[in-house]
Structure 1
Amino acid sequence: IESELKIVTGLVEPHFMAGYSGGRKLITPGIAHKDTITAVHNARFLEDPGARNCNLLGNPLHEEQIEIARMIGRILAVNTVIDEHRRLSHVNFGEIAESHLAAVSFLKNYAMVPVGRRFSTVLTTGAGYPLDKTYYQTVKGMVGALDLLCEGGNLFIASECSEGLGSASYVSVQERLLSLGVERFCREYRAKAHADVDEWQTGQQVRCMLRGSVHLFSKLPPGEARLTGATPVKSLLAHLAESVERSADSSIAVIPEGPYVIPVFKP
């Protein structure tokens, strides 16, 4: 922070809380103190309608991150964008906020897909390896699909979760969710000025659970699968067929690239 020359490097892609990754996120949470990180990940920030994928306008988390970066002084950034094959498709350099916006401008038309209706059955993914190694990261795919899900619909997510749920702190929060139930968990989360570590991820999952039913197709053993709070699915095709039959909606929304391509409902 005290250096005369400050340069950060980062990847710009959709982010389910901050709108887009990279740029100011390399400062907060990148090098921020724990108290700062837990403050900007509380429910006041993350339950705001503006704190969502591919949105910077009126996004309180993004705005707070920008303000924190300004407090440090002039920061330069190298921003990159990659394609679905993880090949470099864009790179720029400049002042951290301006260059980040330029990278977002390049990316947004590829990352956002307008869709004219919502669906009772939505199938998405954890985006495959390496992002789907943990259930913690899998939540990003759930949230990315949320705008297409009808109230009371079924959201299916396929994610290997080869490394389990995630950190010990995240497992503890998931256990608390199951113990308290959604309503009480939300009350306690909303009352905090500082979120517990990783509590924000469970808070994002709860957004999906309040919209509809969440179903997980993974390789998690039963004990860990229970802690997800989602309904474990052994036969994806069978459960999809059942969902279609019950909803009387023969269409299914499918999002193969999970959190990397964000469908936006535009009637």
Structure 2
Amino acid sequence: MRYSVGIGDRCEEFELDEADVIEVMHANEVEVGEVGPALVRAALERPRATPRLRELVSCGQRVCVITSDVTRPLPTAEILPEVMDELHAGGVSDDDVLLAIALGSHRPQTQDELRRIMGPYFGRLAVLNGDSRGLVHFGRTRHGTPVDILAEVAEADVRVSLGNVEYHYFAGYSGGAKAIMPGVSTFEAIQANHALMCDPAARSGNMESPVRLDLEEACRMVGLDFIVNVVLDEERRIVYCACGDFVEAQRDACRELDRLYGCPLAEKADVVVVSQGGAPKDLNLYQLQKALDNAKHPVRDGGAIVLVGSCAEGLGQPTFERWMREASSPAEVVDHLRREFRLGGHKAAAIAQIEERADVLLVSDLPDETARACFMRPFRHVQEALDAALAEQRARLGREPRVLIMPHGGSTLPLMR
């Protein structure tokens, strides 16, 4: 039978005996009604634990709206007009709104990318895009994380964030306070917060991850007045929206995400074929790691993961690349993290931990040498990688391998039963 997964802006097809497939893991069958901006409009009318946004602002106030960069699938161009309508209703003019791109440790956006992000508001709003004039220090969290926020964001009278909620491999879920930290924070703050990923409770699907709680403590120190968090389906349509308090609304969106993407699975796989679903989620290996992390749950020890993603922009982070290239084995990368926590290196170690228990075959547009430097076996096509994995597993097991296909691996979380 023929199957397909996304890679960059294209699809890769491959053949597999249907009898050997455990399942093709998609979002759960959940009945949804209206989709798109209308859901945002309705949620703005009924915020959680806050007044309406129009009631939180007034004429002459400076409002900062924080939104995601292009490595996230957030449809800002659909959400922003609804939020701007609400701000206009509260007396705020376009001239008093700053759109801050939550870059975290990512690169600034190009003009074409800003046009895509902002939609009809491109050219109408001032934009903060990696060009801040400084920082404001708010102190430290109980964990010791420094709370340093871009000055333009910190000095706004009202802060609003837009985000989409997905599973996150150590913060539990995305969305909410992550707009402030790491979104508009510093490398040092992000590194201090992310060091908490070593806690066993810092895992995908845990709403009370210690990483998340530290982010929320920092966010309270800064102040985030209102959030608009959406859940997207596999076609990247808005199928749910929660607005209001940055904790209450985010948790509400998390529960909806669980209903949609928490996928029960009764059988572990010998081979997992996993993709991020294509661009923009597979721009680099740093982002593609999220799909790999979800694939680690259902694969048997000694099994194989066929990881599919374009990685058109390479590895995506200099420390990540350096740690991989300097190590002689996955174990050495993991040991490096135990000796020294470094942002970027943390993802190298997360990948290496998976590579210690499963073979990773990478189907990408990366040079072969770059893939091998990351302890992955390079392939150009899914069928070639899958055939290699099946042959090796067949020889190891003495039977036909069982295969799980995850076309949207960064979104769907296998819940082993």
Q: TM-score, normalised by structure 2?
A: 0.59
Q: Taking structure 1 as reference, are residues 251 and 28 closer, same or farther at Cα in structure 2, changes over 3 Å only?
A: same
1:171-201 per-residue CA deviation (whole Å, 9 max, x = no partner) reads: 222212x34x333332331233xx3331121
Between the aligned partners of 2:362 and 2:409, the Cα distance in structure 1 is: 13
Aligned residue for 1:37, secondary structure, equals helix
Q: Which amino acid aligns with 1:145?
A: A
1:112-132 per-residue CA deviation (whole Å, 9 max, x = no partner) reads: 101112122111113212211
1:27 is aligned to 180
Q: Taking structure 1 as reference, are residues 185 and 170 closer, same or farther at Cα in structure 2, changes over 3 Å only?
A: closer
2:353 is aligned to 207
- Paired residue total: 259
1:188 is aligned to 336
1:88-143 per-residue CA deviation (whole Å, 9 max, x = no partner) reads: 11222101011101111122111110111212211111321221121221111110
Aligned residue for 1:106, secondary structure, equals helix
Between the aligned partners of 1:93 and 1:48, the Cα distance in structure 2 is: 30
Q: 1:56 aligns with which of 207, 227, 233?
A: 207
Q: Is the 8 A contact 2:278 2:309 kept in 1?
A: yes
Which consecutive unaligned segments of at least 5 residues does structure 1 have?
none
1:30-67 per-residue CA deviation (whole Å, 9 max, x = no partner) reads: 1222211011222xx2233322222223x211121121
Q: Is the 8 A contact 1:11 1:22 kept in 2?
A: yes
Between the aligned partners of 1:133 and 1:3, the Cα distance in structure 2 is: 32
Q: Which amino acid aligns with 1:222?
A: D
2:193 is aligned to 40
Q: 2:220 aligns with which of 66, 70, 93?
A: 70
RMSD: 1.9
State whether structure 2 residue 388 is matched by structure 1 residue 239.
yes
Q: 1:227 aligns with which of 373, 397, 404?
A: 373
Aligned residue for 2:287, secondary structure, equals helix
State whether structure 2 residue 392 is matched by structure 1 residue 264.
no
1:37-186 matches, cutoff 5 A:
37-42=190-195, 45-57=196-208, 59-73=209-223, 75-176=225-326, 178-179=327-328, 181-186=329-334
Q: Is the 8 A contact 1:82 1:89 kept in 2?
A: yes
Between the aligned partners of 2:214 and 2:345, the Cα distance in structure 1 is: 19
1:139-181 per-residue CA deviation (whole Å, 9 max, x = no partner) reads: 11110111101112111111122222223333222212x34x3
Q: Which amino acid aligns with 1:68?
A: A
Q: Which amino acid aligns with 1:27?
A: I
Q: Taking structure 1 as reference, are residues 216 and 31 closer, same or farther at Cα in structure 2, changes over 3 Å only?
A: same
The worse-fitting range, judged by mean Cα deviation, of 73-82 and 59-68 is 73-82
Q: Which amino acid aligns with 2:173?
A: Y
Between the aligned partners of 2:339 and 2:369, the Cα distance in structure 1 is: 30
2:41 is aligned to none
Q: Taking structure 1 as reference, are residues 189 and 241 closer, same or farther at Cα in structure 2, changes over 3 Å only?
A: closer
2:162 is aligned to 9
Quick check: which one's helix share is greater? 1
Deviation at 1:74, TM superposition (A): 5.2
Runs of 4+ in 1 over 3 A off after TM superposition: none
Q: Which amino acid aligns with 1:60?
A: P
Between the aligned partners of 1:127 and 1:199, the Cα distance in structure 2 is: 25
Q: Taking structure 1 as reference, are residues 142 and 74 closer, same or farther at Cα in structure 2, changes over 3 Å only?
A: closer
Larger Rg: 2
Deviation at 1:2, TM superposition (A): 4.1
Between the aligned partners of 1:254 and 1:188, the Cα distance in structure 2 is: 32
Deviation at 1:233, TM superposition (A): 3.2
Q: Which amino acid aligns with 2:409?
A: G
Q: Which amino acid aligns with 1:163?
A: E
Aligned residue for 1:53, secondary structure, equals coil
1:205-261 per-residue CA deviation (whole Å, 9 max, x = no partner) reads: 022112222111222222222222212235123213214413335321111111111
1:251 is aligned to 402
Q: Taking structure 1 as reference, are residues 9 and 257 closer, same or farther at Cα in structure 2, changes over 3 Å only?
A: same
Aligned residue for 1:79, secondary structure, equals strand
Between the aligned partners of 2:248 and 2:392, the Cα distance in structure 1 is: 45
Between the aligned partners of 2:293 and 2:199, the Cα distance in structure 1 is: 14
Q: Is the 8 A contact 1:156 1:215 kept in 2?
A: yes
Between the aligned partners of 1:9 and 1:228, the Cα distance in structure 2 is: 34
